[in-house]
Each structure stands twice: as C-alpha cells, then as structure tokens.
Structure 1
Amino acid sequence: MRGFLLAVWIGSVFFATSAGAVNRTESAVKKRNVAAADTSVVASAQQQAPAGRSGAAADSRPVPPETLSVLSEETGVTSGAVPVVTKELSVSKPDSMQGKTHAPADSMEMAVDSMSGDSTVKKGFFHRFYNYFKSANVDKTLTKKFDFSIIGGPHYSSDIKLGLGLVAAGLYRVDRKDLSIPPSNISLFGDITTTGFWLLGVRGNTLFKGAKYRLDFTTYFFSFPSAFWGIGYDKGMYGTPGSYKRMQSQVKVDFFFRLVPKFYLGPSVSFNYIKGKDFSDISLLNGENTQYTNTSIGVILMYDSRDVIYNASRGIYARLDQRFYPSFFGNKGAFTQTELIFDAYHKLWKGAVMAYDFYAQLGTGSVPWTMLARLGGSYRMRGYYEGRYRDRQMVEVQAELRQHIYNRHGVAVWVGAGNVFPTFGEFNPAHTLPNYGVGYRWEFKNKVNVRFDYGFGKGENSFLFSINEAF
C-alpha cells in the first residue's frame, strides 16, 4: 500500500510540475500586454464605477480554464477553471485602491501566474484523482457495457516474500435491465516477487439473462521457488523442509443450469500440469514422480443465495464438487476428490457482517503429491505457508467479522482452525492447527474490496494482499 501511494504522489508531482511549467511559459508571453493593460483598467475602473457599487459586475470575467487529459477518459471530468481574476481589483471601495495597487505590475502578474499555474494545477490534479476513485466506486454497469479499472501495489507473505501485484478488474451485466441479478466480473491478475515467483491468470464468473445459467472460469500459470516438508502432519510440524521449484498450469471451467431459484447443477472440467524440479531433497517425495498431468471431469451441485458473489453481506453459499480422475484421461493413477463448501453471511449491526466458512477436501485412490490437499494460502488458514501441511484429507473452518468504518474503509478480524489427515480413521483432534488474524479493507470499486490481511498460525505468520474477500 505504501508503494502504491508513493507512486500516486510521484505521479501528482510530475503532472503538477509539468503543468506549472506550461503556465509559466504562457505567462511570460502575456506579461508585456497585461502589465500595460492593468494600469489603464484600474484608472478606468476608478472613473466609471458608481459610488457604493462594485465594478465586478461589469468586468469579472474568469481566466479561460486550462485542461488536462489525465484520467479524463475514465472519469469524464476535465480540469476546472483557474481561479477568477477580476480586472477591477477591489474597485468596490475606490478609497482603498491606493493601498492595494502599490506593487509593480510585473510582480503582481507573476503572483497571479503562480496562483493560477502551480497551485491550481496541483489542486486540480488531486481533485481529478479523487474524482477518479470516487467514480470508480459507483456501479456503472447499468450505463456502460464494461466497467474497467486497474489497481496494483506491493505485498509480502512468508512464502513468496516481497512482491508487486497488479489486478485489472471488470464488471459487466449480460442484461442491464435486470437489477435483481448482481454484476458479473472478470479479473486479469499478475504478480512477481523477489524470490523469482511469477504468476499470470484470469478468473471470473458470468451470470446469464434471468440467472438461468452461470459460467465460472479460472486459468493461471505460475513458477514458484517453494519449500516442501513432505506429506502428513508430522512432516509439516517437525520435519526439515527441502526446496524445489514448482511450475503449474491450470484451467478450470464450471457451467451451471438453474434447477429452481438459487439451486444450480452442472458439469465441470479441469486440467492441471504440475512439475517440480531442482529438489534439494528428492527423498521427501517417497519415490513419486516429479511431474504429473491430471485431467478431471465432475459434477457440481450448488445453492447460492448471496446478494453479491464476491462480497456478500447476506445469504448462503453451499457447494458439493465431485471430481473423477480416471486413468484413461491420462492420469498416472485413478483417484477421486470431493470438495465441500458451506458459507453463511448475515448482518449484525450497522456496517457489520458476520461471515462463516466450512471447507473440506477429501481424496481417495492414488492421489499424487501434486494434488494433495494443502493447508494455508490467501483464502483459508491465512498465515500458514501453503503446502507445509498436506495430505489426502483436509477440513477447515473460519469465522470473520467485517466492519465498515468510514467511506471506503473497513476492517476485518477472523479466527479459524484446520486439520490434515490421510483417512477419517486416522483423524487426530490433537493435530488441529489454530488460525487468527486482522485485516484492512479498501473498497476499490463498488462492492470490490482490496484486502490487506495479517494472519497468525502455529509458529508462523504472514502478510497478504489480494482482491475480493477471502470467502
């Protein structure tokens, strides 16, 4: 966030300085004529102004406004007029004229130029910059086919260290006449960090006319110098991590048909290619391959009554995702994965939303190490290194209080817990890992939050920057 604000400040100084230089150049050209004109105008004003009446009505014409193109295309706002400079110079009281016109004409004009050039352009830029973000917070999908915005900033986490992320977010409506359906969204996201991690991806969802159909999609590519502790709770808790580079590509598409209001059923397909290389301790793989290609087909049953998909304040989201990875799809060994999600949202008091999340990933069969459930990350068990604890089965729960503070600003606090285990018969409550944290929210666009979270786990913690709420 500090890096983002610094960039804004540098940009404002650049534009203000450039605009000020332009105004000073123009003033030098005008100065010869204005200096002579002011003397005659003052004398004329003293002779013509009626007693007890200001001459402003006769000659209070504003200086023509300068314009800047910065952000004007997005906001539709150009620079405001330079402050009004009237020629009568306090002629409403002729007796006071002598006390206000002793300054030489050149110095008077330079003062006017300085005011109308540097100061006003600086104020004008920040005013336009403010208007840009103010307008970005308005739902424009009713008047625009595509409401597009970009935001970027620095971030830090324990696994990928210091990085710079960029998100280009867009909101749109298939049917702009139906206000009962939330806007659809799409995000192009990229990231690069000091560890050599890079990421590029696209995700989004589209709600079709009447919400009879829905399309969710995600695709990404990344390279990640990572740590690997091995498989199971004990390896993650007591083991010594090795290093390797994880390269992954994923494409996932879900299409839903509405059965009855709020209930959806549909097919899902996914493709994952994961390759590990440069292992410092290959024995941690227990003889498994270093790379796998996995393709699945599945079915999803979903109930969704959320008011806003990506930032809900009320409603329920429940999802059962059953995936099959048969060997005839090119998988090394056949296996299945079941994913369960249950989220609930309700308002507590003014500006407060309580959100609950239950998540389970259950695998059976020959699940490769690349497809095991991994605890931690940016959405659940925030604060844990993603993948330190991994196994066939995982369950997680969390509760988060989100409080709006003022204007676009808000905060969040959460608590949670998670557990990884190979089978239900080997579930050990003593292996449950705690989680808690605090975060800041800034509403970048209407109902689209940028979040800064700091999560704490057992023996580790991390800072996270992301777009949209965690769940």
Structure 2
Amino acid sequence: MKLFVRHSLLCLGFLAAGTLCSTKAQVTTGNDNTTAIASIDTLLSPEPAPKKLNLFQKVINYFNESNEPRPEKKFDFGIIGGPHYSSTTKLGLGIVASGTYRTRRDSLTQLSNVSLYGDATTTGFLLIGVKGNNLFPENKYRIDYDFYLYTFPSDFWGIGYDNGNNNANKSSYNRLETILLANWLARFHRNLYGGISTGFNWVKGSRFTKPELLNGEPHEVISTSVGLVLTYDSRDFIPNAARGIYLNINQRFFPRFLGNKNPFTRTAFVFDAYQRLWKGAILAFDLHGEFNYGDVPWNMLASLGGSTRMRGYYEGRYRDKNLIETQLELRQHIWRRNGIAVWVGAGNVFPSFSGFKWNHTLPNYGIGYRWEFKNRVNLRLDYGFGKKGQSGFLFNINEAF
C-alpha cells in the first residue's frame, strides 16, 4: 500500500508539471469517453525475497565471482586457503590473501599487487608474511618488498655439496627467523629501473643434534645489507606474465657498521623470459645466480630448494657460497579457470668458480595444477621431484616466477 501511494504521488507530481505518468494510459473510444487505465499491479507487485543461501552455496558463489575483472574497484581483494604437503614441512594448511590495485586510475600504470600469506604444519612450522610490488603512477617508481617471520623444526646437512649429498649427515635443530627485503626503484627509461636494495635477516638456531656441522659458527646471526639494484622489466603482468623479459642484477654489501659480525658481499641476478606458443600456452624460462664473497654466515649461504625454484628439494639441504639454477616451464590453460604446468630444471652449489663441478648438478622436474583464483592471479599446486628421492607438494599463490 505504501508503495502504491508513493507511486501515485509521484505520478501526480509529473502531471502537475504537464507530463504524463508512464504507468497510466488514457484511451478514448467513440463518444462515450471511456477511460481505460492500464493495470499497474504487475509493476507494483513486490519482488520475491531472494533465496537465502547456505554456507556452502555462499562459498561457491564467492569463488565463482572472484576472478571477474572489477575495474571499478580501487582494491580487488580475495582470500583462499587449502592443505598442502612437502618433504620440508610435511602436512599443513596454508592461507593466502591476494589483492591488486592502482595507486592512480590511468592506463599507463600496471596493476600493483600484494599477497598476505600464512602457514601452519604438523611439524610445528609456523609462517606469516607479506610480499608485493607497488607501482606508482605512470610506472615512474616502484617498491618491491617481501617480509616474513617463521619458526621451524628444521633439518641440517652441513655446508657444501658433499655434505648435503650424504644422508648420514641429516640432523635437526629449531629455527626462528625474520627476513625483510625491499628494492626502491626509479624508472630511467621505459622498462629500465635502478635504485637501492635493503635487507635484514635475523636467525636463531637451537638444539642442534650435530653442532659440529656448523664448523664453530654462532647459532644466532644478524645480517643487514644495503646495495644497488638494476632492473629491466617488460612483463605485461608481474604475478603471471604472458610475455616480456625480466632482468634483475643486485649487488648487496654487508658491512660491519650495519651490525654484521663479519663483512661480506653478495652478487645476484635473475633473468626471466616469457613467450606465448599456441592458444592458452605460455613458455617461461628462469635463470638465477647467487655469488657470495667473504666470511659468509651459515644461514646466509646460497641455498637450493624452496617454493619457487628447484621445487621438491628440502630447502637448505644443499648450500654453499655460490649457486646457479635454471628452469623451463610450460603453462597450459585447459578449461575455464583450470590449467596445468610442467617444468624441468637443474641447480648447482659450489664453493668457488674453480671448484665448480658439472657432476654435482642436481636435476629437478615436476607437474602442477593451476586455478584462476582472481583475474590472472593463479592458485598453484605443484609436485616437484629431485635427487635422492626428494619430492614435495607445494601450495601457493601466483606463479613460481
């Protein structure tokens, strides 16, 4: 009734202004001046109340709508969680929240991204962190950052390929670590950036079952760095590139005046390339090198394995002053939001260039499932394999590289 009165008042207002209400139609027939008023019951009848959804239906709707492009939203955000298993952390539950945004609405600025992540496993591994790439208007400046804190009952094989390759060296210890890395970059020319690199690492190891593998090094280490970074980046979308090249060269210094017990330096580079092959297929290539000079603490040595490279290896089983690793990955879209990935790779840790040995090269291969959680932001489930029967199942957000 209230709706009918409100509608009638609105019509009268229109008539007073000399207009005709759209819900009435006067029709004059012959001389009897019969007026027919069109029924408005169907127009005024209230819409049926929306059906209430149960929790399961709400979850399904959330995921169905999560990958739809939303250009009107300043910050497009979503959250997802799931189980995983790896040889490093065993069975666990991971939660990842991902968001994309622009610091200003313009077509020249690529989307910035941020990911919040947490993990807990049956071995007592606990992790919380945040990482992302913040791009300023017209891509003139950018900040790349990664911060995480974790505690982990870990394994340790010692330093060098031979120690890592010896199953009898496997020992345990408890590890508490905080890591912060940030690159502050300015654009020099189109896709070329340069700037300052900063880093902080604190680790405390305890309850070593074989402390002799540390060679007398302290269990607690603080490492602070500052350096220079040069980046060329023509990728179309950082979290999931379909074309372009990424080159990063980073020279970091760990001097005494920043709190380092023993000074050392690190030179690292990353080269990635992406190419479309056929419909839905992307070929991605990654080459990574890390070279340390000086008295490098045990926790700051180049370590092989993890969630992005040499997937399936226990992270840190093979560690030394220097590392070179590469991988080639084929990513194929299959149907709707589903895809797969397969990769092959190899890595080598060595004490010096003169001590590099080809027969110490470690193989890596694996297969993964991709589900588009948000527009061009993939949830990835990878299963990687390596030497010595090592394997691991990984759950993460965004592509490995």
The TM-score with structure 1 as length reference comes to 0.74
Tell me what 1:100 maps to: none
Deviation for aligned residue 1:133: 2.3
Is the 2:110–2:139 Cα contact (8 Å) retained in structure 1? no
Change (3 A) 1:290 1:129: closer
Answering whether residue 138 of structure 2 is matched by residue 203 of structure 1, we say: no
Tell me what 2:151 maps to: 223
Is the 2:303–2:320 Cα contact (8 Å) retained in structure 1? yes
Deviation for aligned residue 1:182: 2.4
Change (3 A) 1:66 1:272: same
| Distance in structure 2 (CA, Å) of the matches to 1:378 and 1:211 | 28
1:166 to 95, 107, 111: 95
One-letter code aligned to 1:457: G
Q: Map 1:10-409 onto structure 2 (within 5 A).
A: 65-67=48-50, 79=51, 129-140=59-70, 142-176=71-105, 178-238=106-166, 239-409=168-338
Runs of 4+ more than 6 Å apart: 124-127
Change (3 A) 1:442 1:366: same
Larger strand share, 1 or 2: 2
Answering whether residue 385 of structure 2 is matched by residue 464 of structure 1, we say: no
Structure 2: which 5+ runs fail to align? 1-40
1:426 to 337, 342, 355: 355
* Structure of higher CA gyration radius: 1
Is the 2:109–2:136 Cα contact (8 Å) retained in structure 1? no
Change (3 A) 1:223 1:127: closer
- Counterpart of 1:310 in 2: which secondary structure? helix
One-letter code aligned to 1:66: A
1:161-180 residue CA offsets vs partner (Å, 9 max, x unmatched)? 0111111211111122x234
Tell me what 2:36 maps to: none
Change (3 A) 1:245 1:129: closer
Higher normalized contact order (CA 8 Å, seq sep 6+, divided by chain length): 2
- Counterpart of 1:204 in 2: which secondary structure? strand
Alpha-carbon RMSD across the aligned residues, in angstroms, is 1.9
Is the 2:370–2:381 Cα contact (8 Å) retained in structure 1? yes
Tell me what 1:437 maps to: 366
Deviation for aligned residue 1:130: 4.2
| Distance in structure 2 (CA, Å) of the matches to 1:248 and 1:137 | 34
Structure 1: which 5+ runs fail to align? 1-57, 68-78, 80-120
One-letter code aligned to 1:319: N
Is the 2:271–2:286 Cα contact (8 Å) retained in structure 1? yes
Larger helix share, 1 or 2: 1
Count of residue pairs the alignment pairs up: 360
Deviation for aligned residue 1:462: 0.9
Residue range with higher mean Cα deviation, 179-188 or 401-410: 179-188
| Distance in structure 2 (CA, Å) of the matches to 1:182 and 1:390 | 36
The TM-score with structure 2 as length reference comes to 0.86
Is the 2:197–2:227 Cα contact (8 Å) retained in structure 1? yes
Identical aligned residues as a percent: 56
Is the 2:311–2:384 Cα contact (8 Å) retained in structure 1? yes
Is the 2:108–2:139 Cα contact (8 Å) retained in structure 1? no
- Counterpart of 1:234 in 2: which secondary structure? helix
One-letter code aligned to 2:177: Q
Change (3 A) 1:294 1:125: closer
Change (3 A) 1:326 1:284: same
1:416-460 residue CA offsets vs partner (Å, 9 max, x unmatched)? 000000000000000000000000000000111000000010121
